[in-house]
Structure 1
Amino acid sequence: MTAGAIEARAEPFFLQRTRGQLFCLYHPPRGDCRGVILYVPPFAEEMNRARRIAAQQARELAALGYGVLQPDLAGTGDSSGDFADARWETWKDDLAACCAWLGERIAHPPVLWGLRLGALLALDYAQAAAHSLRALLLWQPVTSGQAYLTQFLRMRTVNAVLADNASEQTGTRALRAALQSGDILEIGGYALDPALAAAIDALAPLERHTPPCPVHWFEMAAHSADKAGQVLPPGAARAAEAWRSRHARLQVHPVDCPPFWAAGEGVGAPALLAATSALLREDRLGH
């Protein structure tokens, strides 16, 4: 079967929620079902820039026998609500609803597959999930919500400098103060509500989490080696060491891959797609 035929099998639908509906794309498993996977998208514009790669990976996983669900979380994409209405706890409720939808159709504990801030959301959800999880697939997880929010806020300052708009050239400290005062900030075309910003800011750093299931960490920004010999930048290495000290079942997969979530359409991720597909093909999730 050609790649186009595989893509044609994806099923778009709206998952009804009490406050609206979530747009979802479901890739049914081909052949005998080997499991189900829930994609947890990254934040703001990173979600849009990663769509092509995520969809390509979903199709490959479906071809391997996995049912893959790709939702737009509340307030994002084609789901109900505006980005200004988005809340961290609401997104976790959305993940629960998606897991329930999958569970009604295929009797397998889901794998959560998260990218960037979506990886941290998947991990946060997993620690209090009311159901079992088979594994976590973390693509370039954000290691600190606070640092990530600072980076996101910095976009406004950088854009103001590029536009030579002196009235908008404020630092992240001033932007945080505005959020704490209750102001909604427009950052890169996204209206950031203070409640969502505060929730991201208050997230425990990655090393303070304890994964409740096997974790496969795909790291694409390698700098130094951790104790197990994998290549990790310092923040990620600290998290990996902390998890292993608490006997977490962790496997790190260094891959040569550009930051496609921050790049244009022409950037691919062949090594990442191949490594993820190989893991699922060989059914090494439980390692």
Structure 2
Amino acid sequence: MNTPALAALPFFLAADEGERFCLYHEPEPGVATRGVILYVQPFAEELNKSRRMVALQARAYAQMGFGVLQIDLYGCGDSSGEFAQARWDIWLADLARAWQWLEQRKLGPCYLWGLRLGALLALDFARQVRPTGVILWQPALSGRAYLNQFARLQSAARLFAGAHSAEQDNEIAGYLMSPSLADTISRLDAAGFAPRCPVQWLELTAVPTDAAGVYAQAAGAPVALQPASALLVERWREDGAEVLARAVHGEPFWSSAEIGVCPDLLAATAAAAAPMERR
């Protein structure tokens, strides 16, 4: 008989600027403990759209013997502060507190798992700590390109019209973002963040269709990384990084109109978890 999954433990983590809301998924009882994972959230509304997928993956990790900590960063979700007051260095400090909380549990190796812009934040934070590995879901490659894309998708292309010199906050999709945060993000480039630990890189590629909307590729057929991703992965490898990269079919659940789930990504992430321990 299957044992019901343990409910995630909600709590608030004390910080200099109020508190941070957290969810902790305990490793499944009776399963060998394999370590802990700190999840790093995506940007703005992508956080809300991706919660379902992240919850499913966190539970899957727990069933494999990992403890998983989700934290709402300053100004996000149920944590203290307003998004307009958020700064990159505050988010890094939030991750440092969460990382320390996980290390104190002494459950073995510590990993980072980031989604979209959260992948860039995780890579930046990895330079401060020594994660055993990094898991990247659809990582943003360039902060500037990401914000430009986000602005276009949200009909807010005015974001960069003097954004870095303006004194007032910028509004994007109903979120006020400080010029300081926009400037910091726009300077980020994953090319300079090659981790010194094993990396799992997983991204989605939409299933191609013809003009009539009929699938033009058989289900289960192999898919390739986006060209820009493939180039960056190769550059990282040349720089000495150990990268396991895989693309799977799926729609972008972080920006879909409805809350979406991508079973192929969950399956690929579970398969990649087997060799996660440092070799």
Quote the Cα distance in structure 2 between the aligned partners of 1:155 and 1:186. 14
How far 1:284 sits from its partner (Å)?
3.7
Unaligned residue ranges in structure 2 (runs of 5+):
208-221
Q: Partner amino acid for 1:12? A: P
1:195–1:64 distance in 2 versus 1, CA, 3 Å: same
How far 1:96 sits from its partner (Å)?
0.9
- Alignment partner of 1:259 out of 242, 252, 261: 252
Aligned to 1:191: 176
- Alignment partner of 2:278 out of 278, 283, 286: 286
Q: Partner amino acid for 2:177? A: L
How far 1:266 sits from its partner (Å)?
4.7
- Alignment partner of 2:190 out of 203, 206, 216: 206
1:220–1:181 distance in 2 versus 1, CA, 3 Å: same
How far 1:151 sits from its partner (Å)?
1.8
Per-residue Cα deviation, 1:3-60 (whole angstroms, up to 9, x for no partner): 8x31x52100000012111100000001331110011010000010000000011011
Question: Contact (CA 8 Å) 1:208, 1:239: kept in 2 or not?
Answer: no
1:94–1:254 distance in 2 versus 1, CA, 3 Å: same
Question: Contact (CA 8 Å) 2:49, 2:259: kept in 1 or not?
Answer: no
State the secondary structure of the residue aligned to 2:139: coil
Q: Partner amino acid for 1:66? A: F
Question: Contact (CA 8 Å) 1:279, 1:285: kept in 2 or not?
Answer: no
1:253–1:222 distance in 2 versus 1, CA, 3 Å: farther
Q: Partner amino acid for 1:276? A: T
Quote the Cα distance in structure 1 between the aligned partners of 2:194 and 2:266. 26
Matched, 1:14 2:12: yes
Aligned to 1:120: 120
How far 1:107 sits from its partner (Å)?
4.0
- CA RMSD, Structure 1 to Structure 2 (Å): 2.1
User: Map of 1:1-287 to 2, 5 A cutoff?
Assistant: 5-6=4-5, 8-30=6-28, 31=30, 32-129=32-129, 132-155=130-153, 158=155, 171-172=157-158, 175-203=160-188, 205-221=189-205, 231-280=224-273, 282-286=274-278
Question: Contact (CA 8 Å) 2:200, 2:272: kept in 1 or not?
Answer: no
Q: Partner amino acid for 1:195? A: S
Quote the Cα distance in structure 2 between the aligned partners of 1:52 and 1:151. 23
Quote the Cα distance in structure 2 between the aligned partners of 1:137 and 1:75. 24
Question: Contact (CA 8 Å) 2:223, 2:249: kept in 1 or not?
Answer: no
Aligned residue-pair number = 263
How far 1:178 sits from its partner (Å)?
3.8
Unaligned residue ranges in structure 1 (runs of 5+):
160-170, 224-228
Question: Contact (CA 8 Å) 1:180, 1:194: kept in 2 or not?
Answer: yes
Quote the Cα distance in structure 2 between the aligned partners of 1:259 and 1:285. 28
Instruction: Give the share of equivalent positions with the same residue, in percent.
Output: 46
Question: Contact (CA 8 Å) 2:76, 2:82: kept in 1 or not?
Answer: yes
1:155–1:232 distance in 2 versus 1, CA, 3 Å: closer
How far 1:232 sits from its partner (Å)?
1.9
When normalised by structure 1's length, the TM-score is 0.85
Per-residue Cα deviation, 1:177-204 (whole angstroms, up to 9, x for no partner): 044222211111101111100110111x
